[in-house]
A = this chain, B = another copy of it.
Amino acid sequence: MSVSPAIAPEAFEKLRTLLDDRFSTNATVLEQHGRDEGHLPMAPPDAVVFPNSTEEVQKVAAICHEHRVPMIPFGVGTSLEGQVIATQGGVSIDLSGMNKILQVNFEDLDARIESGVTRRQLNDYLRDQGLFFPVDPGADATLGGMASTRASGTNAVRYGTMRDNVLGLTVVMADGRLLRTGGRARKSAAGYDLTALFIGSEGTLGIITELNVRLYGREEAISSAVCPFDTLKGAVDTVIETIQMGIPIARIELLDEVQMDAVNRFSNLDYPLRPTLFLEFHGSPMGVKEQAETVGDISRDHGGGDFRWTAQEEDRRALWRARHDVAYACKALRPGGELWATDVCVPISQLADCIVQTRRDIDAANLIAPIVGHVGDGNFHVAMILDTSDEEEMKRAYEFNERLVDRALKMGGTCTGEHGIGIGKREKLVAEHRDAVPVMQAIKQALDPDNLMNPGKLFLDS
C-alpha cells in the first residue's frame, strides 16, 4: 500500500467549483467515509463529493483523472471487507444522493434506478404495485454497492444473486467516459458480458451510476416457518435433501444455537436455543402447501421439531427483520465488541462437515462467534464479536479465519460467497484463483491504466 498522495490543490478547487457545498473536507465526513461495517481500520479519504447525476460523476472522474487522484465509489458504507476504506487517500464519491427510481416497467418486470437507491427503498416503492426485488443482503445497502460486491442474501437460493438480477448498467469509467452495458432484453448474445464483469468488481473498474434490474411479481401465497433441530448436522442435512430434491424453496436459512440466543435477546423473541432453520415458501396456495409438507417430512427424518408458522405479512416481515438484523444482534451479544463477519461458500455435499468442523474450531479458539447462513447455496457466515484492543484475541480470530477459508477451499469452495475480497481477502483471492488473478489484473490495467479506481482493493500489489 502506497502512502496517500495529498489531493492536488487544483483538483480540490475544480471539484469545489463544480459541486460547491457538495464537496467536503470536513473531518467527520471524511471519517464517516473511511470505514465500513467490517473489522478493518478506518482510513479517511482526502475529500468527499456528493454528485447528483451521472453527468456530475463524469465531470468528477474527468477532474480526478486529469490530476491522478484515486476515486472510491461509496454507497452507504455497509461493505464488510474494507471495500470503501480510503487506504490510499483520494476522493470518496458518495452516491447515496443519486436515489431516484427512474422507471418501472410492470409488463416487462424490470426497472431502471440510480445506484444510490437502497433495497428497502426500492421494495417499499414496489410493494403497492405487487412487485419486488429479491436480493437482500443483511444491511439496507444501495443497489450500486450490492452490484459492486456481487451481493446476495436470503432469497438467492431461488431468485439468484446480483449476477442474475441485473440486466444492464450505466458506468462512468476512470477517465470520465460513459459506458452502457446490457439492456432490457432478458437475454442477449451480443458481445462480451460487461454487465457481469462490473458486477463484483468492487469499484475497481468504474463507478456504477444506474442499473436495469429484474423484478418479480409478488407470489400469490407466501408462508414462513421456523424449525428447531436436535443437531446442527440434522438441520444441514435437511437443507441438502431439500435442494437435491429440487424443491423450489424461496429461503432456507440456518442459525446455530449461539446465533439464536443473540436473535432472541436483540429482537425480544423466545425461540428455543437450538440449531434452527428459517424457511419460506412461495407459490400458489396449493404449491406452498405441497412444498411445506415435503420439507416437513424431510426435517422430521433429521430430528427437526414442529414448524412454527407465520403467514401474516406483518409477522413474516418481523421474522425476516430478525434474521436480517443478525449482525446487529451479534454486536449486542458483547457491548463494545466489534463485528468481523466472514463468509465462505462450499459445494452443498461438503456443507455439514464444513459447518460442524467450523463450530468445533470456534469453540476450541475460544471465540464468540455465531454461525448463520444462506445454507441453500452452501454459503455461511461466522460473525466474530471481538475486543479489537486485545491483540491475542485478534490473533486467534485472524488464525481462525485463515483456517476457515483454507477449509472451504480444500472442500472445493470459495473464500467468499457474497462479502467480496476488498482489502481483507486479497491473499485468499490468490490462493483460490492463482492462474486467474493475472488475467483479472490485465483487465484492470486495460480499463484503468493509472490505477485510479478504488486502488488497493482486490489485488495485493495495487
A interface list, Cβ under 8 A from B: 105, 107-110, 149-152, 156, 160-161, 163-164, 173, 177-181, 183-194, 196-197, 199-201, 216-217, 219, 240, 243-246, 248, 283-284, 286-287, 290, 345-349, 377-379, 412-421, 425, 428-429, 432-433, 435-437, 439-440, 442-443, 445-447, 458
Contacts and interface: CB of A to CB of B under 8 A. Distances in A.
A263 to B, nearest CB: 24
Contacts of A348: 107-108, 186
A108 B349 contact: yes
A415 B184 contact: no
17 contacts: A107-B240, A108-B348, A150-B188, A152-B187, A179-B436, A183-B412, A185-B345, A185-B417, A189-B200, A191-B440, A192-B197, A192-B200, A193-B196, A194-B440, A216-B246, A442-B447, A445-B446
Contact of A150 (B193, B290, B417, B439): B193
B156 A191 contact: no
A238 to B, nearest CB: 14
Contact of A149 (B189, B201, B345, B425): B189
A178, A184, A432: most-surrounded residue (chain B CB, <10 A): A184
Nearest to A206: B439
B192 A417 contact: no
B287 A417 contact: no
Given A420-B189, A421-B190, A421-B191, A183 B414 contact: yes
Nearest to A205: B192
A105 B187 contact: no
Contact of A194 (B160, B421, B436): B436
A417 B345 contact: no
Contacts of A161: 187
B187 A349 contact: no
Q: State the copy count for this chain.
A: 2
Identify whether the interface residues of A are mostly helix, strand, loop, or mixed. loop
A446 B440 CA distance: 10
A151 B187 CA distance: 10
A379 B190 CA distance: 13
A182 to B, nearest CB: 9
A257 to B, nearest CB: 26
A152 B186 CA distance: 12
Contacts of A216: 246
A412 B167 CA distance: 12
A354 to B, nearest CB: 11
A368 to B, nearest CB: 25
Contact of A290 (B196, B286, B347): B286
Contact of A185 (B179, B346, B442): B346
A377 B181 CA distance: 19
Contacts of A445: 446
A413 B349 CA distance: 40
A219 B108 CA distance: 28
